[in-house]
Amino acid sequence: VSGSDFAIIGPGRLGRALLARLQQVGWRCVAVRARSSAVAGTLDLPATAVVDDWDNPRRWSAPPVLLLTVPDRQIRPVAERMAAELDLIGRVVLHTSGLLDADEAGSCRAAGAAVGSWHPLLSVGDPAPTAASWEAATCAVEGDPAAVETGRRVAAAIGLWAWTIRPEDKPRYHAAAALAGNITHLCIVAARLELQKCALPPGTPFDPLRALVETSVNAAFTARELEGLTGAIARGDAATIARHLDVLPRDLADAYAALARWFQARREHDSD
Ligand SMILES: NC(=O)c1ccc[n+]([C@@H]2O[C@H](COP(=O)([O-])OP(=O)(O)OC[C@H]3O[C@@H](n4cnc5c(N)ncnc54)[C@H](OP(=O)(O)O)[C@@H]3O)[C@@H](O)[C@H]2O)c1
């Protein structure tokens, strides 16, 4: 597949971020298909680009690359509609699920496209990632050979470091991403809510957790495994852990205790 024309199917957080970033590096968006074409006014697009929706489709021919950035559960039905309504012969369709593999868009393959999954490992919200964030991130790609090749080309264009993942590894890969990204986020918010119960003086100049979290995260990234961990769990200080579990809400205490047990098992495994 040559050329750098693309379409976005599903202009949500990732779709819009890719739209902006790909256009920034000189790719041309020819079409955006949304659930409602009312989003047109909120997108920064060339005048030639078409914005439409499934109920009011306009005439456009599928470009070489179609990025399917709908939620995971929508990939299969949307792929079926794409296969029914667009000429996909010789095109590449890439969906962006971290969990699901290329086969989820199998109906596009049956319609003549090469299909792949293309997953950037970063959190894409509002505001969208900066160029520097894209360039510090990796992208797991798998699928038909032409789709993998194109996926790598898309990744290279926006500065992502791409690698080919085995389809059967995707659930574990995605679970690892959720642990590192989402669970960290949840832990910080949960910790902040607990801290707010501690009568911190009003007007604290910055988030008191920031320095702690940043130094801990840096230690985790420089460590080989768990040797950089500090605190009661690392010290095996059961009495302190018990006091923590007493004061935390039940579900958080359960999660904390489960991680402490995981650490203990890991340490025993290392000393075997
Ligand atoms: N955000 C991230 O950090 C991130 C990172 C890596 C990968 N991903 C993956 O990217 C995909 C999208 O995630 P997201 O966070 O961008 O979700 P999102 O913000 O909810 O965006 C999904 C978009 O798809 C649209 N959509 C839903 N059904 C559609 C349909 N039938 N036809 C056309 N458009 C449709 C939604 O429209 P409405 O707004 O009208 O519902 C919305 O604009 C998921 O597979 C996710 O795993 C996300």
pTM of the model: 0.94
Cis peptide before 127 (omega within 30 of 0): yes
What is the pLDDT at residue 2?
A: 44
Beta-carbon contacts of residue 136 (< 8 Å; ≥ 6 apart):
122
What is the pLDDT at residue 272?
A: 75
Ligand 1 centroid distance, CA of 168 (Å): 23
4 closest CA partner among 25, 35, 18:
25
Residues across the chain: 272
What is the pLDDT at residue 203?
A: 86
| Substitution site in 14, 67, 122 for ligand 1 pocket (most atoms within 8 Å of beta carbon) | 14
What is the pLDDT at residue 202?
A: 84
Angle at CA 172, nearest 5°, toward 168 and 173? Answer: 95
What is the pLDDT at residue 177?
A: 97
Mean pLDDT per 10-residue run, the chain (272 residues)? 82 97 96 95 94 94 97 98 97 98 98 98 93 97 98 97 98 98 96 94 89 96 94 97 98 98 92 77
DSSP letters spanning 149-181: HHHHHHHHHHT-EEEEPPGGGHHHHHHHHIIII
